Amino acid sequence: MNRFIQIHLLTSYPPANLNRDDQGRPKTAKMGGVDRLRVSSQSLKRHWRTSELFQHALAGHLGVRTKMLGTEAYNQLLAGGIKEKDALEWAKSIAGVFGKNKKADKKEPLNELEIEQLVHVSPQEQALIDQLVQTLIEQKRAPEEGELNLLRETNAAVDIALFGRMLASKPAFNVEAACQVAHALSVHPVVIEDDYFTAVDDLNDGREDAGSSHIGETGFAAGLFYSYLCINREQLIDNLAGDAALADTAIAALIEAAVKVPPSGKQNSFAHQGYASYVLAEVGNQQPRSLSVAYLKPIEVWGKVDADYLTQAVAAIRRQYQGFDQAYGQCAEHRYELVVGDEKSSFAELLAFVADASH
């Protein structure tokens, strides 16, 4: 079995604000001495795992990331006829299994139901919570200590298996992520521009006030992004309690999401829907390495005939993996390139390649 699956993507987006910073402007990073557009790995992973195609492909095998476990249990207990005081205490004890409860607040007593940090809960663990709540309703009693053993070390939650879980108070139930995702960076320099916009009141006929009803501005930029993710298939199978078939389904769904699902920031304003124009899949047992260094010198096209960012970016990534091979020996046993516009490659063949080469 080949252990590592590395996916390198080049995806172009038109003017957009894909992933905002604390000022509402597109995130950036300096690389090679110039400013690049950036999309955080946290943003990418959330959009992939919550996408319709990922949810559909892995229905029944996805967890929930939340602070609201106690609130959900409390509402169920109340709906089942449990007194408010008892429901509050019982729900707090259930939530406390997954993390430290927030401190009591006289003005907001239900704050205690929330967990201080987000926790990723598997379908199996959620089923145990629901079963316990139903038992408490039927028997009208508080949960016993043994009944609060709700955490599970192994489960079939694909998103937890891929992206990991950290429980500071219960480290025995932590899950090592089987997938690493890099921040996406533009392969060229960028300058953030500002879009000045107005909104007009449809019922204002302009006779008394010809001005707009709202004025605002938002930052934007266009970019061709290099993205990289690495999947440890061996770790993924182990996280899924040995279910290799489910692991392969998860890998295919993740790759499809990475290729097709864009960040959703300001999507309605910019409609930046886009698929990857180039995908390089590498499968092998060698130590993984990103190819981002191919763009340490930013791609530029000024003064060049019949050249564009994508053409040069593809050429650069090929030079880089060939250079690594020459310096260190073959860095992957198997490779497949999907190039949009090349009739010799297709997304279906790429998925089939990954499935075959990783076994």
Give tens-digit pLDDT for 134-150: 999 999 999 999 999 99
212 within a domain of the structure (yes/no) = no
Q: For residues 347 and 339, what is the distance between their CA atoms, to the nearest angstrom? A: 9
> What is the average pLDDT value for the chain, to the nearest integer?
92
217 within a domain of the structure (yes/no) = no
145 within a domain of the structure (yes/no) = yes
Measure the N-to-C terminal CA separation of the chain; round to a whole number of Å.
Answer: 5
In this structure, the answer to whether residues 249 and 345 fall within a common structural domain is yes
Sign of CA dihedral 9, 10, 12, 13: positive
In this structure, the answer to whether residues 55 and 69 fall within a common structural domain is no
pLDDT of residue 303: 59
Name residues whose C-beta falls within 8 Å of residue 53's C-beta, 6 or more positions apart in sequence: 253, 256, 257, 260, 261
In this structure, the answer to whether residues 46 and 79 fall within a common structural domain is no
What's the chain's Rg over C-alpha atoms? Answer: 25
- Whether the Cβ atoms of residue 329 and residue 289 lie closer than 8 Å to each other: no
pLDDT of residue 347: 97
209 within a domain of the structure (yes/no) = no
Closest CA to 17 of 214, 197, 286: 197
Hey, how many other C-beta atoms are within 10 angstroms of the C-beta on 9? Answer: 22
In this structure, the answer to whether residues 299 and 343 fall within a common structural domain is yes
Average pLDDT over residues 206-210: 72
Quick: pLDDT tens for 80-125: 999 999 999 999 999 999 998 888 777 777 888 999 889 999 999 9
Q: For residues 5 and 301, what is the distance between their CA atoms, to the nearest angstrom? A: 32
In this structure, the answer to whether residues 27 and 145 fall within a common structural domain is no
| Angle made by CA atoms 148, 152, 154, in degrees to the nearest 5 | 170
Is this model's pTM higher than 0.85 or not?
Answer: yes
In this structure, the answer to whether residues 350 and 319 fall within a common structural domain is yes
In this structure, the answer to whether residues 33 and 181 fall within a common structural domain is yes
Q: Structurally, how many domains does the chain consist of?
A: 2
334 within a domain of the structure (yes/no) = yes
Q: For residues 260 and 187, what is the distance between their CA atoms, to the nearest angstrom? A: 19
Q: Which domain holds residue 288?
A: 4-60+177-190+222-357
Residue 257 phi/psi, 5-degree rounding, is: -65, -40
In this structure, the answer to whether residues 308 and 230 fall within a common structural domain is yes
In this structure, the answer to whether residues 325 and 234 fall within a common structural domain is yes
In this structure, the answer to whether residues 144 and 107 fall within a common structural domain is yes
In this structure, the answer to whether residues 182 and 281 fall within a common structural domain is yes
43 within a domain of the structure (yes/no) = yes
pLDDT of residue 202: 79
Helices 69-79/84-95 angle, 10° precision: 150
By the 10 Å C-beta count (0-12 exposed, 13-18 middle, 19+ buried), 274 is classed as middle
